[in-house]
Amino acid sequence: RSKLIDHMAHIHNSVRESTTEYFERYRRYAYVTPKSFLSFITGYQDVYAKKVAYVEMLASNINTGLTKLVEAGDDVSKMKVELKEKEK
**With contact defined as beta carbons under 8 Å apart, do 26 and 14 qualify?**
no
- CA 2 to centroid of chain Cα atoms: 19
Residue 34, pLDDT score: 82
Helices (H), 27-88: 34-87
The residue with greater pLDDT, 50 or 7, is 50
Cα–chain center distance at 80:
42
Rounded to the nearest 10 degrees, the angle between the axes of helix 34-87 and helix 2-26 is: 130
Report pTM. 0.61
pLDDT tens-digit readout, 45-77: 999 999 999 999 999 999 999 999 999 999 999
